[in-house]
Copies of this chain bind each other. A is one copy, B any other.
């Protein structure tokens, strides 16, 4: 763990889980290990940890207690790969990433979607630089579901919970990140900024149908804004119904800066945003709590390409950089982002999802050499 005296150390838990998670997490580790000492002034340690659907099939548990204990007691942060979905109902199985978010209180999922030239649904290329803040602990993800039956047959009911507490934390994250992004942009010449206006937060909801739950969400997030002079004086705020949000995101993605959404809408929106930038294999995320962070590529376990050494490691590598950023190693993170950007800009070494023929290893090695 990090200490304030002497040589610092950084212990990272690695949870590859299923499918291509087992290829992209080792790739991310390789990049972290390739960082020169002056970029990352800390001793790196890694801890291999179990979880996943395959692990569940062998051991009857998808997120073992040992993994949680190791994360809490021994790690400064973690990287999670991806998890396979059972193709039919499996008694006792529950998604380990959803469990991890909840048990480690990783209340915001931060998903930056960036591209110099994304193709929109209108066929034009536009620069996108959007940050999605997804509430990460509640909504339909509380998994409180019940079955019943009536005269018409079986039915089931799931609960969707929205709380002031969780909405406020997500809102705080959104507005503070909006200011932080703005501060970073100010360091660039105006011509190089993708976003040239005041920072903006878009609140996503569906309160025309869910007036009580999404009503509480929107009012609480607005309350965070209205109660803070710094936010009110420096950030713009707007609202967008989730259906219109998906529509607008594809018509004019350049219209969004920070987007904050309840859990399920955030899940859908971030996959949609990934389509805009060319591949899910590019989009990283960080599951963020007050005292812990888990980097996680937005893509899934992709069983169809698993084990073939063709998975795009960039989402996982960028997720590792987000982990560094959040644990206080901003310049190490920047070194990784820059190396990745260089490889993407050169456009020579790319995996099949981007139309190339390179392997996972080739992309990873190329990034390492550029560090």
B-side contacts of A161, CB under 8 Å: 155-157
Q: Mark A148-165, 1 if CB is under 8 A from B, else 0.
A: 000011111111111111
Tell me which residues from 263 to 286 in chain A have a Cβ below 8 Å from any Cβ of chain B: 264-265, 267-268, 270-272, 274-276, 278, 280
A300 contact set on B, CB distance < 8 A: 244
B152 and A215 contacting across the interface, CB-CB below 8 Å: no
Minimum Cβ distance to chain B for residue A199 (Å): 22
Name the B residues within 8 Å of A159 (CB-CB).
Answer: 157-160
Contact B147 A212 (CB under 8 A): yes
Inter-chain CA distance A92–B265, complex, in Å, is 26
A153 neighbours in B (Cβ, 8 Å): 163-165
A248 to chain B, nearest CB (A): 8
Contact with B along A232-272 (1 / 0, CB 8 A): 00000001011110111111000000000000110110111
| A120-128, A305-313, A335-343, A344-352 - interface stretch | A120-128
A350 CB to closest chain B CB (Å) equals 14
Among A64-72, A186-194, A202-210, A359-367, the one that faces the other chain is A202-210
Q: Within the complex, what minimum Cβ distance (angstroms) separates A208 from chain B?
A: 4
Is A211 among interface residues, defined by CB-CB distance under 8 A? yes
What residues of chain B lie closer than 8 Å to A90, measured between beta carbons?
211
Cβ contact within 8 Å between A272 and B246:
yes
Q: A211 is contacted by which of B145, B165, B216 (Cβ under 8 Å)?
A: B145
User: Which residue of B has the minimal Cβ distance to A249?
Assistant: B275
Q: Which residues of B contact A86 (CB under 8 A)?
A: 208
Q: At the interface, yes or no: A141 with Cβ under 8 Å from chain B?
A: yes
CA–CA, A323 and B257, complex, Å: 41
- Residue A98 at the chain B interface, CB threshold 8 Å: yes
Task: Find out whether the CB atom of A160 lies under 8 angstroms from the CB atom of B163.
Answer: no
Measured between C-beta atoms, what is the minimum distance from A316 to chain B in Å? 17
Q: Which residue of B118, B119, B274 is within 8 Å of A247 (Cβ)?
A: B274
State whether the Cβ of A48 lies closer than 8 Å to any Cβ in chain B: no
Say yes or no: A246-B219 contact (C-beta < 8 A), given A123-B119, A152-B164, A156-B162. no
Q: Is the CB of A152 within 8 A of B143?
A: no
A369 at interface (Cβ–Cβ under 8 A)? no
A272 to B88, CA, bound (A): 27
CB distance from A345 to the nearest CB of B (A): 18
> Of the candidates B121, B141, B264, which one forms a contact with A121 in the assembled complex, judged by CB atoms under 8 Å apart?
B121
Nearest B residue to A138 via CB reads B155
Find out whether the CB atom of A141 lies under 8 angstroms from the CB atom of B209.
yes
The answer to whether A37 has its CB under 8 Å from any CB of chain B is no
User: Chain B contacts of A160 at CB under 8 A?
Assistant: 140, 157-160
* CB of A358 within 8 Å of the partner chain: no
Residues of B within 8 A of A241 (CB): 85
Nearest 9 pairs between A and B by C-beta?
A119-B123, A145-B212, A250-B275, A155-B163, A85-B208, A153-B164, A152-B165, A243-B271, A247-B271
Beyond A90-B211, A119-B122, A143-B209, 10 additional pairs, beta carbon < 8 A: A95-B208, A123-B123, A140-B206, A145-B211, A152-B165, A154-B164, A154-B216, A158-B210, A242-B267, A243-B267
**8 pairs across A/B with beta carbons < 8 Å?**
A85-B207, A85-B241, A119-B121, A152-B163, A152-B165, A155-B161, A244-B300, A249-B275
